[in-house]
Amino acid sequence: MIEELFTDLFRIEIPLPQSPLKTLNAYVIKDPNRNLLIDTGFNRKECLEAMQDGLRELSVDLGKTDIFITHLHADHFGLVSKLTGKSCRVYFNRPEMELIESFEGFHTMIEYAGRNGFPEDQLEAALSRHPANLYGSDWLPELSLLDDRDTIDCGPYHLQCVSTPGHTAGHTCLYEADKKIFISGDHILDDITPNIQCWMDEQNPLKEYLESLDKVAKLEVDRVLPGHRRLIKDHRARIAELKDHHKQRLQEILVILEQGRMNAFQIASKMTWDIVAESWDDFPVSQQWFATGEAISHLKYLEKEEKIIQEEENTIIRYKLRNP
């Protein structure tokens, strides 16, 4: 499905089979000199076909097209190796390029998940089904790195990078100030809440995410073009909802911890999730994984706010209220 949103700016809907996200919004700006494609899809047949069909229908020549990728997740980055030609520039952010380059497998995440109470025998299964393992890019193209406030010009569109860490470490949006268009990747979504995961002890991604939301709220925006689902008109109202959602989650965890000391996996099992399943034990293991990562990001935030205390015993990490 293709839709012209603004003059020469199109949305191509890319299916994401078996993903609860359902589809990805790829955006294309057509320009006689160089076109710009924003985000790509999973590295799998259905995504490639939809992208090729869309580009063909728009008469977009990939040989004259640069690609901007908002963040490293496979539904945005995965298809890039199938689309880049010789002269294609691939714009990306520095923090995530460093993560990709230093990536040595999932073992540090697996170890950390185990210390947070995730059942060890489930971990391999959880990660073998992780989209990064199944639908990642075949190889890493040469990347043109952009920092906050760097610009890309494409036709009448002057796009400025807005660094928005939180959903991922280097997540970057694009802002067209004159036209008040904001291309948000997974930073702001409608209908669904961007997931904020934490799989490293010293990080506080939820704090970064909330700060990034405040940063974007200051911009003048008429239309948000998100990475999934519907376009958003009132970005400040949506940002307020997202902030409220996380405030409620933090509160929920404090109430759960009134029952006593627990690890993150146990806490996640007691939180409310938008998943159709009879009970926590019926959650697919991949959803338990995402839920636990989300619980940890909230626990890290509460710990840094000095509301809770982290304790470690025989390598297992548990949390308790600071003032029970």
Residue 187 interacts with Zn ion (CB under 5 A)?
no
Q: How far apart are CA 322 and CA 83, in angstroms?
A: 51
Q: Name the minimum Å distance from CB 195 to Zn ion.
A: 8
Residue 73 interacts with Zn ion (CB under 5 A)?
yes
Q: Return the range that interacts with Zn ion (CB under 5 A); candidates 66-74, 255-263, 282-290, 316-324.
A: 66-74
Q: How far apart are CA 126 and CA 103, in angstroms?
A: 18
Q: Name the minimum Å distance from CB 75 to Zn ion.
A: 7
Q: Return the range that interacts with Zn ion (CB under 5 A); candidates 70-78, 83-91, 266-274, 309-317.
A: 70-78
Q: Name the minimum Å distance from CB 117 to Zn ion.
A: 25
31 vs 208, beta carbon nearer Zn ion = 208
Q: Return the range that interacts with Zn ion (CB under 5 A); candidates 65-73, 99-107, 132-140, 196-204.
A: 65-73
176 vs 186, beta carbon nearer Zn ion = 186
186 vs 208, beta carbon nearer Zn ion = 186
Q: Name the minimum Å distance from CB 229 to Zn ion.
A: 13
Q: Return the range that interacts with Zn ion (CB under 5 A); candidates 50-58, 100-108, 186-194, 202-210.
A: 186-194
Number of residues forming the site for Zn ion (CB under 5 A): 2
* Secondary structure (DSSP) of 158-175: EEEEEE-TTSSTT-EEEE
Would you say 260 and 224 are in contact if contact means Cβ atoms under 8 Å apart?
A: no
Those residues with Cβ within 8 angstroms of residue 27's Cβ, 6 or more apart along the chain or in another chain: 5, 9, 10, 11, 12, 37, 38, 39, 183, 225
Q: Which residue in 66, 96, 176, 186 binds Zn ion (CB under 5 A)? A: 186
Query: Residue type at 188?
Result: I
- Integer CA distances (angstroms), 249 to 25, 102, 243, in order: 28, 32, 10
Determine the 3-state secondary structure of 10 from DSSP. strand
Question: How many of the other CB atoms lie within 10 Å of CB of 233?
Answer: 12
Binding stretches for Zn ion (CB under 5 A):
73, 186
